[in-house]
Amino acid sequence: MDTIVNIYGLKCDFCDYEDMSIPFADYPKYINAPCPKCGANLLLQEEYDESVRIYKIVAIINKIKNILKWINPFHYWRLIFGDKRPLMKITKKFPKRVQ
């Protein structure tokens, strides 16, 4: 399966501390954990919940994208009407406007 989304690393909002080696799977360990430099909360519960929502939304979008990649409208046209009907062709040409 394709990578859904890459979420990693934490950065303090109050000082210059950042650790980009922290994987998303370890985020629950850092909820309300103090920053090693300034002691402020490194990750709030609301921030974690928002990142989980983003992860789920991107996962749904990727699933839809993968499904749509395999849908071929001409295949369904043949299934419905049989092989005797000609396939429609999609062209990028548009009719000329009459002025």
In the chain the beta strands, taken as DSSP E runs, fall at 8-11, 18-23
Instruction: Tell if the pTM clears 0.75, that is, is over it.
Output: no
User: How far is residue 36's CA from residue 43's CA, in Å, rounded to a whole number?
Assistant: 12
Give the model confidence (pLDDT) of 86-97 as tens digits.
Answer: 555 544 555 555
Q: How far is CA 17 from CA 12, 31, 35, 88, in A?
A: 5, 16, 8, 59
Cβ proximity of 74 and 85 under 8 Å: no
Give the model confidence (pLDDT) of 12-69 as tens digits.
Answer: 999 999 999 999 999 999 999 999 999 999 999 999 999 999 888 888 888 887 776 6
Q: What angle do CA 83, 87, 89 make, to 5 degrees?
A: 170
Higher pLDDT, 2 or 8: 8
